[in-house]
Amino acid sequence: MFEGFETRKVDGAGAEIHMRIGGDGPPLLLLHGFPQTGAMWAGIAPALARRFRLFVPDLRGYGQSSTPDSKNGSAYTKRVMAQDMIAAMQGLGHQRFAVAGHDRGARVAYRMALDHPSTVTRLAVLDILPTAEVWRHMNAEEALGTYHWMFLAQPNPMPERLIGNDAVFYLDHTITSWTKSHALAPFTSEALAEYRRSFARGEYIHAACEDYRAGATEDRRLDEEDLASGRRIAAPTLALWGSHGIAAAVGDVLAAHDLGDRAHRAGLVLAGGVADHRGAAAHQRDRLVAALLQPVQHHHGQEVADVQRPRGAVIADIGGGLSLRGKRVEALEIGALVNEAAFL
């Protein structure tokens, strides 16, 4: 994985961050989700590295990064995890950079954009609703599909001990339940081995639980405060989600990613190949997809004649994309280029 990339240990804001670095171009920080590591980006890193200088960390508490002591989620709030990334990138000489995140990494990314607006130049968030929105829309059906939000947030040591009894089983069960095939096939053997190796250690199980405890408390509170105050992300932002993923199942993605008075209010659903837009009729959706891809079209200097619907994008390992006249444009390439949107 990550052929030609270098690895470094970089100081965060109270944590040591394992960082993969490679490519040429403007800086782009890629943040992974639970229960993964930076290895989840290996499939598209070579393509992105042709246009960006990539920085692919393991978040604190994951992979080969350190696991700061924590109680009740205090060291794993998305604000603190975002501060790690700011410190790490500044230590590597980058005061401003683009960020793309999936799952927990997307929550770190949007918190970073809110707290550090002068730092984040562009933002892409994959397969999430804002944390407070997930809790607000929770009902019995959705709770069954996202039970880990409640389970992992239970007080220490209950979830830690239960998971620790067979951590690899829990990890495999969790990630397969989020794939269309309900199998491990979408994950490369190298990435899967890294996930298992990391998650099998007690301190990393505890860190993951602390991540979700923060999500149920401080992260939720910060989101609610931002919502009440009308605070918004200033950076150009794109939200992408799978039509069969957690974000789409939990709530109205377009409503949650409210653009307020902005001229553009749109979402792109990858897994089902369906684009939707508030107020747009169903028969206009394919046209809307092409419209949403205008920044990519202009960047490549190509005319988009047709948008072919992807088959079941697996956001977990970024297996999906859009095919433009046979040219595959990965989700994060789009995310790094789109220049009109806002994420609440």
Q: 10 Å Cβ neighbour count for 299?
A: 17
Reported in sequence order, the residue ranges of 157-208 that DSSP labels E, i.e. its strands, are none
Type of residue found at 247: A
| Residue 13 structure tokens | 């804001």
DSSP 157-171: THHHHHHHTSHHHHH
| Residue 265 structure tokens | 């209010």
| Residue 200 structure tokens | 């099998």
Q: How far apart are CA 197 and CA 332, in angstroms?
A: 27
**Cβ distance 264 to 277 under 8 Å?**
no
Pick from 180, 159, 217, 220: which is nearest to 35 by CA? Answer: 159
| DSSP character at residue 20 | E
* Model confidence at 264: pLDDT above 70: no
Pick from 58, 107, 100: which is nearest to 79 by CA? Answer: 107
| Residue 322 structure tokens | 């859009």
Interval 73-79 mean pLDDT: 98
| Amino acid 304: pLDDT | 25
| Amino acid 31: pLDDT | 98
**Cβ distance 344 to 256 under 8 Å?**
yes
Is the peptide bond prior to 35 cis by the omega test (within 30 degrees of 0)? yes
Between 299 and 186, whose confidence is greater? 186
| Amino acid 126: pLDDT | 87
Domains for the chain: give ranges and CATH numbers: 6-337 (3.40.50.1820)
Type of residue found at 135: W
User: Confidence band (pLDDT; 50, 70, 90) for 263?
Assistant: very low
pTM: 0.79
| DSSP character at residue 263 | S
User: Confidence band (pLDDT; 50, 70, 90) for 258?
Assistant: low
* Model confidence at 83: pLDDT above 60: yes
The pLDDT > 70 percentage for the chain reads: 71
Q: How far apart are CA 137 and CA 247, in angstroms?
A: 11
Task: Summarize pLDDT for 16-62 with one digit per residue, the tens.
Answer: 999 999 999 999 999 999 999 999 999 899 999 999 999 999 999 99
The pLDDT > 90 percentage for the chain reads: 58
Reported in sequence order, the residue ranges of the chain that DSSP labels E, i.e. its strands, are 6-11, 16-22, 27-31, 53-57, 97-102, 120-126, 237-241, 267-269, 275-276, 307-308, 321-324, 327-330
User: Confidence band (pLDDT; 50, 70, 90) for 98?
Assistant: very high
- Among 89-98, 159-168, 285-294, where is mean pLDDT lowest? 285-294
Interval 214-239 mean pLDDT: 92
